[in-house]
A and B are shown apart, each in its own frame.
Chain A
Amino acid sequence: MEITAIYYLIPSLIMFCCGVYGFITRKNMIAMLISLELMLNAVDVNFVVFNRFLFPGQMEGMFFTLFAIAIAAAETALAIAIIINIFRSTKNVDVSGLNEMKF
């Protein structure tokens, strides 16, 4: 049995859908962040897979993925910092309760 692109793309799709589902349904900011990472990683997988199967001689997809992973790490650090600060001031990481600045 030959491993084709579809074998990678289906788990990647499942990962992405899980991410979207988690992002929409979860109220906890940590959980939302994890879902976001999940979506991002699904996209990373897609990049690698398409690069590997469609343009075997080139490396753009790989490098793009490496960049995306690095940026995602930085972004996560930033997001965690914001969440910790919110938690310090409100003792809560539930996103639906954070509407004091709204009106």
Chain B
Amino acid sequence: MDITIPILILAIPLFMFIFLGLLGGKMSHKLAGTLGTLGMGVTLVLAYTTAFTYFFSGSADFITAGGDRLQYLVFNQTWLAFTKSLVIKLGFLLDPISAMMLVVITTISFMVHLYSLGYMRDHHGVYERGFQRFYAFLSLFSFSMLGLVVATNIFQMYIFWELVGASSYLLIGFYYIKPSAVSASKKAFIVTRFADLGFLIGILVLSFYTGTFDFTQLTSVPVEGLNDVYRVSEGTAEGILNIFQTSAAPVFMGGSVLTWALVLIFMGGMGKSAMLPLHIWLPDAMEGPTPVSALIHAATMVVAGVYLVARLFPLYLMEETALEIITVVGALTAFYAAMVACTQVDIKRVLAFSTISQIAFMMVSLGVARPEIHEGLGYMASMFHLFTHAMFKALLFLGAGALIHAIGSNDYTAMHGLRKYMPITHWTFLIGCLAIAGIIPFSGFFSKDEILSACVGYDWVAYAWMSMVAGLTAFYMFRLYYLIFWWKEHKIPEGHHAPHDQPWTMSLPLIILAAISCVAGFIPFGKLVSWNGEPYDFMAHFDWSVAGVSLTVAVLAIALATVMYRKENNLPEKFKAAVPALWRWCYHRFYWDELYMFITHKIIFNGICRPIAWFDRHIIDGTMDSFATITNKASELIRPLQSGQIQFYVWIYLIGALLLGTITAICLI
């Protein structure tokens, strides 16, 4: 395959970042926005070409005669060669999931670029301050995310992993004069950095024992069912196998090297994907502009953790414990986030918690994936859900952005009854809600159903738990939908004109994403993406009972939401009064933020940082300061001797000469 197109996919966004970043201020808002969007459009076309070539060209590079998909290194260039064994490469890896991610990222990114042309200006058409900077950062993010998914080795992934973190930081803090946005951006950066510490240690442990960074080598482990066709590494897998299967491998605190490495790497994924103990940054990240939330904090960056686990999936298969940890963390997070989403007032917060919950679905799906359970259905389901979720969640976020843009508030209390005023937003939002709730022809139904099927094969507890969360998902999404668009008649504040639908730059992405959400479920995803490259026939494993149950649960949840929230009534208040403690805990997000505040401020700051600061200030600085003070005092003391008065010098000289003369005389006598 020609390497021009893959290089251009990465080079265009990077160029747009540098170009708009340096020269954006010199050009008009409109030109900068148009250039950024055009650049992303070209990237979109190139990425689609690449993915299409990979999936459908039938070239022997990409697919075997038997129909098994191969990993393909477009290029893999040595970048830093420290020693013979420690070599860091940069490259472009094409395989089913990276090709799928190319499509997802460029689609959402292009939609967001287009949407922002309308969103980032007020009702009088005046562009927001820093509009060019916004587009430069969007391009930087797109570049980083594309670099992340095509990484050929875990170190390249780590580099781009940090770059997406940095661009996320820049975009959350886009309104840098707003203190809440600044603290949210810092929070996001610090929490994910903390998680990345684990990721880095995991990388170091893993590559220390395996002697390689390359994904193709790392994942070419002999797992049952993983055919030779999926292994394209230049080296052999025997070394890796020896380390992990001989008893000589060191054991630390009851876990083998592999367990520790994989759990630590998953910790990085937990940070980026907002899994339970490290989820606190994502709701606050909603302080950023809404298109940014759609692109980074719903569709692409936050699924990087899922992608990471999927990328190393054959390794995870060798270590049951790590997969079980992933399942448990994912299941708890999914339930927690769904509960919290039922009580939030800020519509972006509801969507943020819904994102956490849905990513947890993907994690659970990976955690329960086993080759022996429906031939690794969980892996495929996770990737499928990643794809469909990116589309419908971006749609919901962009819809929320349109509402916020029209109303000027994030709270549904200021909205209510908007369905007549904003028909396009209403219908597209409804499609998004139906998709996430899992109603039949929409994309969410198919992907969620596959996840639940995978859970059934694993354990009925997991299945029941995830079905309950799926019901909660349908409930809180329709609660949000009804509270925004129904509940009661919209009251237009005095001096305001009626809210109305947005300009075409904002409507078009909504319509396109809604259309994708309608049809994406019918993509034969298993044929394209599966854990070992073999085409996978989902219909052979389709279980009508699972689908029927999930559909029933969703419909019941929607019906409940309809009863409670369609027309203004006192049922929600009654419900709140019935379980006050539960409601309060959910509303306050189970006090996780307060817990973090307590741990960081009371324990870490007071107990650890303050003594260290005291030691630094008084002992270390004190020693250094006393050197300076003593020198200073001494010089003050002897300074009068250098008076500049000749007479004084003569006087000293005279005394000295007389003394010397006397001493000489005494000695001579």
Interface residues of A, Cβ cutoff 8 Å to B = 20, 23-25, 27, 32, 95-96, 99, 102
Contact = CB atoms under 8 A, between A and B. Distances in A.
Interface string B636-648: 0000000011110
B522 interface: no
B651 interface: yes
Nearest to B644: A102
B650 interface: yes
Contacts of A27: 647
B647 A95 contact: yes
A76 B645 CA distance: 20
9 pairs of A and B residues whose beta carbons are closest in the complex: A24-B651, A102-B644, A24-B647, A24-B650, A23-B650, A99-B644, A20-B654, A96-B645, A23-B647
A66 B646 CA distance: 28
A4 to B, nearest CB: 24
5 contacts: A20-B650, A23-B647, A23-B650, A24-B650, A32-B647
Nearest to A99: B644
A51 B650 CA distance: 29
A50 to B, nearest CB: 20
A27 B647 CA distance: 9
B654 A24 contact: yes
Nearest to A101: B644
Interface string B138-176: 000000000000000000000000000000000000000
Interface residues of B, number: 7
Nearest to B648: A24
A102 B644 CA distance: 7
A23 B654 CA distance: 11
B632 to A, nearest CB: 16
Contacts of B646: 95
Contacts of B651: 24
Interface string B502-544: 0000000000000000000000000000000000000000000
Nearest to A27: B647
A95 B654 contact: no
A65 to B, nearest CB: 24
Nearest to B649: A24
A25 B654 CA distance: 13
Contacts of B654: 20, 24
Interface string B422-456: 00000000000000000000000000000000000
Nearest to A102: B644
B317 to A, nearest CB: 79
Interface in B621-657: 644-647, 650-651, 654
Contacts of A23: 647, 650
Interface string B654-667: 10000000000000
Nearest to A103: B644
Contacts of A24: 647, 650-651, 654
Nearest to B646: A95
A13 B60 CA distance: 117
A23 B647 CA distance: 7
A17 to B, nearest CB: 10
Contacts of A32: 647
A24 B647 CA distance: 5
A99 B640 CA distance: 13
Nearest to A32: B647
A99 B650 CA distance: 17
Nearest to A23: B650
Contacts of B650: 20, 23-24
A95 to B, nearest CB: 7
A86 to B, nearest CB: 14
A23 B645 CA distance: 12
B36 to A, nearest CB: 60
A100 to B, nearest CB: 11
Interface centre among A20, A24, A102 (most CB of B within 10 A): A24
A25 B648 CA distance: 9
A5 B587 CA distance: 116
A60 B651 CA distance: 32
Nearest to B642: A102
Interface centre among B647, B650, B654 (most CB of A within 10 A): B647
A35 B410 CA distance: 94
A22 B645 CA distance: 15
Contacts of B645: 95-96
A24 B651 CA distance: 6
Interface string B450-487: 00000000000000000000000000000000000000
A32 B648 CA distance: 13
Contacts of A99: 644
A89 B654 CA distance: 32
A95 B644 CA distance: 10
A96 B647 CA distance: 9
B617 to A, nearest CB: 33
B657 to A, nearest CB: 10
A77 B650 CA distance: 23
Contacts of A25: 647
A86 B274 CA distance: 80
B335 to A, nearest CB: 75
Given A24-B651, A24-B654, A32-B647, 14 more contacts: A20-B650, A20-B654, A23-B647, A23-B650, A24-B647, A24-B650, A25-B647, A27-B647, A95-B645, A95-B646, A95-B647, A96-B645, A99-B644, A102-B644
